[in-house]
Structure 1
């Protein structure tokens, strides 16, 4: 019952609502409330602060939300091994990835992984915004850039440059920029990250870093949308190379100003401590590394 209550607690955290967790679990709100109370009694502390408008985690509740996925995964892994043998790989994996990269690259790698391990199920979340791995019960998040959260572990997948690019049709009509300063007169397609528009594009000019503030007529918080706009000739974008590698290879996009690029970021898999001890998680991490380093 403890493991079932932990799973229910994570549902509540994920939805931010006891009623929504009750509906998903097929339980009455009264039963959910009773089981949450039993869990708090078991640990001897309050896990959630409940008001008429919202739920919020206490410090102890956040610690449990971060650690409970490991407990549940290890228990499930142990049960699978006992029932079906140590060589069997089974169970769910929740993975988060940027929208464009997720569609163009990660989904293919996941398809191959499930084909090799058909008892594994994948729950893929595509988002270019911030994801709280613990609150959302995410096992692995694919992200660009250095890790800020020291409570998480990292597997580096590959370097990834950010490439300024445009469609041939756009360049035929508006001309090809030869220097970063030329971008000021072009229509630049912008991404919005965590509410902030990415107008500041960095370059290395004459061996010195320099940032240009650019503008354009289209902004989106979805990388796939920015890529589509760029491919369709609406302007110049700055995209991660893994998002547009196939477009460049096929001639749909032309890379620009590469001699002025800043050093590449790291593409990496981020996961909570202890998750790599779960066999299916470790195998998927290995498959992702291999997929980006064939």
Structure 2
């Protein structure tokens, strides 16, 4: 019963409420509340701060969350090895990725991975904004840039440039900027990453950096949509080479200001704190990492 209650605790954490967890588990909210109370009584601690609108993990709850995922993962791996043999992978994996590379790269890796491992189930959530990996129960996540959370485990997947680019139709109509300052005269399509507006574009080397605050008539929190607007000739974008390389190779987008390109940006794979990931998570992480290495080379 303790293991079942810990599983339910994870569901509450991921869904954010007792009612939503009950729907997911097929239990009444009363039953969920009683089993959470039993788990807290077992450990002698409070696992959630409760308000009328929100549940949030206490420090003890966060400790249980990180440890529980490891323990339950090991139990599932053990059951798989006993029932189906040592080489079989099974169980759920929850993944977060930026929208564009999630659609173009990660989704393809997942398709191959689940075909090769039919007992695996994967939930992929695409977002260009901030994601609470621990609080939302992700097993791994991909993000560009420097990660400031020192508690997360990181694996660097390579460095990729951000490229200023536009469609040939936009360039024919408005001309091409010759230096970063010229962007002030152009319509720039701007990304929003969570609460951060990506309207300060950086150029040059670390020793000679330049920044330009750009403006435009469209802002969106979806990297795929901002790319589509650029393809339609609506303006200039700043995107990772992973997102726009096929369009540039096909001539649908043209790179601009190449002589002012900033240093490449790291792509990080992040894992929640803990001693080790279940075998299925390690296997998927390796498959995604190999796909990114192939793109970098």
Asked if TM exceeds 0.5, the reply is yes
Partner of 1:59: 59
Cα deviation, 1:131-166, whole Å, max 9, x if unaligned, reads 111121111101111222222112221211110000
Cα deviation, 1:262-285, whole Å, max 9, x if unaligned, reads 101111211124475411111111
8 Å CA contact 1:161–1:241 kept in 2: the answer is yes
Larger CA deviation: 52-61 vs 74-83? 52-61
Partner of 2:242: 242
Following TM superposition, by how much is the alpha carbon of 1:206 offset from its aligned partner in structure 2, in angstroms? 11
4+ residue segments displaced more than 6 Å = none
Larger CA deviation: 164-173 vs 280-289? 280-289
Following TM superposition, by how much is the alpha carbon of 1:50 offset from its aligned partner in structure 2, in angstroms? 2.1
Inter-partner Cα distance in structure 2 for 1:206 and 1:98 = 26
Q: Gapped runs of 5+ residues in structure 2?
A: none
Inter-partner Cα distance in structure 1 for 2:66 and 2:89 = 24
Q: 1:56 to 1:167 in 2, by over 3 A?
A: same
Partner of 1:93: 93
1:172 aligns with 2:172: yes
Cα deviation, 1:209-268, whole Å, max 9, x if unaligned, reads 011111000000111111111111100000011011111111111111122111011112
Inter-partner Cα distance in structure 1 for 2:73 and 2:13 = 17
C-alpha RMSD over aligned residues: 1.6
Map 1:103-122 onto structure 2 (within 5 A). 103-122=103-122
Q: Gapped runs of 5+ residues in structure 1?
A: none
DSSP 3-state at the match of 2:233: coil
Partner of 2:136: 136
Partner of 1:261: 261
8 Å CA contact 1:6–1:39 kept in 2: the answer is yes
Inter-partner Cα distance in structure 1 for 2:209 and 2:230 = 26
Inter-partner Cα distance in structure 2 for 1:49 and 1:94 = 25
Inter-partner Cα distance in structure 2 for 1:47 and 1:223 = 36
- Provide TM-score, normalisation by structure 1: 0.95
- Provide TM-score, normalisation by structure 2: 0.95
Following TM superposition, by how much is the alpha carbon of 1:116 offset from its aligned partner in structure 2, in angstroms? 2.0
Inter-partner Cα distance in structure 1 for 2:274 and 2:164 = 38
8 Å CA contact 2:190–2:219 kept in 1: the answer is yes
Following TM superposition, by how much is the alpha carbon of 1:54 offset from its aligned partner in structure 2, in angstroms? 2.3
Inter-partner Cα distance in structure 2 for 1:187 and 1:117 = 46
DSSP 3-state at the match of 1:133: coil
Larger CA deviation: 209-218 vs 3-12? 3-12
